[in-house]
Amino acid sequence: MSHIKDFLSELQTISNEDTISIVVPSVYREVSFKTLTVKQYKDILKNTLDGVAGNIKLGSTLNSIIIRNSLEPIEFTLYDKNYILTQLRRQSLGDTVRIRDNTYKLSDLPEFLFNFKFEKNISYKDIIVDLEIPTLALDTAVTDACYNTITKQYSDTSIINESISVILTYELSKFISAVSIHGNAIDLTGITVNERKSIVDNLPLVINNKLIEYITEYRKYEQSFYKFNNDVDLSIDGNFLTSA
């Protein structure tokens, strides 16, 4: 038993020393990360095989990998996520990726920059909604709440139809930092995820549509850095992180 413990301890030491330096966009400098482990690979694969609910849970799994593998306690944001995952994938599975029977090099992707024109708020009548790009910690909390809602409240036959509206509401809530009415503001960082969702559910449709437009523009901007020269999009998903 002692021999096995010593062996595992040595293996863990080697694993901890296997690191990669990645420039994290939100802090504009290199940060050291441990590379992906077999267990993390299996966790990703399990999520990809678990249908709609698994794909939702995958978001939390990937966030956890970034936070746990970082050798520094950084408050990562959503716009760090795909870039870090791409670099970890290059280290673990190589620079090439297969998309629709063609091979592409990840090193050929555009240089990742973050110059998105960030709106501070959107408004309608006496309602002002302050916006933010969520941290991975917030993204995880919201994703977990969404996962719990879908798996507990909907049957297998209704999960696909119902999940779309549920996911959208949770997604919108992540990008809001505060809401004020007649000058009376509430800071969403101090309330629960379900309370966030309730606020979003009760916003006017005009605000809802503006939020969707804003997030759509953000996602479009981000995806522009994960597009190869011949206009082929790279999807940062479970298959990308588990297939060479």
Per-residue pLDDT reduced to its tens digit, 168-186: 999 999 999 999 999 899 9
pLDDT at 158 over 60: no
pLDDT at 197: 94
| Region 28-55 average pLDDT | 90
| Region 215-234 average pLDDT | 91
Contacts with 75 (C-beta within 8 Å, 6 or more apart), sequence order: 26, 135, 136, 137
Sign (positive or negative) of CA dihedral 122, 197, 135, 226: negative
pLDDT at 46: 92
Which burial class, exposed, middle or buried, applies to 38 when counting CB atoms under 10 A from its CB (0-12, 13-18, 19+)?
exposed
**8 or 194, greater pLDDT:** 194
Q: Which residue in the block uniquely carries the two structure tokens 């794909």?
A: 55
* 10 vs 180: CA distance, rounded Å: 55
pLDDT at 180: 96
The DSSP output letter for 1 is -
**41 or 163, greater pLDDT:** 41
Longest dimension (CA), the chain: 70
pLDDT at 162 over 80: no
Contact (Cβ atoms closer than 8 angstroms) between residue 56 and residue 207: no
**119 or 47, greater pLDDT:** 47
pLDDT at 13: 59
Amino acid at site 155: S
Query: Where in the chain are the domains?
Result: 2-112, 121-223
pLDDT at 86: 96
pLDDT at 183: 85
What's the predicted TM-score (pTM) here?
0.89
* 89 vs 83: CA distance, rounded Å: 10
How is residue 51 written in tokens? Answer: 């249908």
pLDDT at 16: 63
Looking at the chain, the whole-number percentage of residues with pLDDT higher than 90 is 66
**5 or 111, greater pLDDT:** 111
Contact (Cβ atoms closer than 8 angstroms) between residue 234 and residue 243: no
Contact (Cβ atoms closer than 8 angstroms) between residue 151 and residue 92: no
Q: Residue 94's beta-bridge partner residues? A: none
Q: Residue 97's beta-bridge partner residues? A: 104
Which burial class, exposed, middle or buried, applies to 181 when counting CB atoms under 10 A from its CB (0-12, 13-18, 19+)?
exposed
Mean pLDDT for all residues in the chain: 88
pLDDT at 139 over 70: yes
| pLDDT tens per residue, range 99-116 | 988 999 999 999 888 777
Q: Which residue in the block uniquely carries the two structure tokens 């006017």?
A: 204
| pLDDT tens per residue, range 54-95 | 889 999 999 999 999 999 999 999 989 999 999 999 998 999
pLDDT at 88: 96
Directed axis angle between helix 51-69 and helix 159-174, to 10°?
30
The DSSP output letter for 136 is H
pLDDT at 153: 73
| pLDDT tens per residue, range 192-202 | 999 999 999 99
pLDDT at 147 over 70: yes
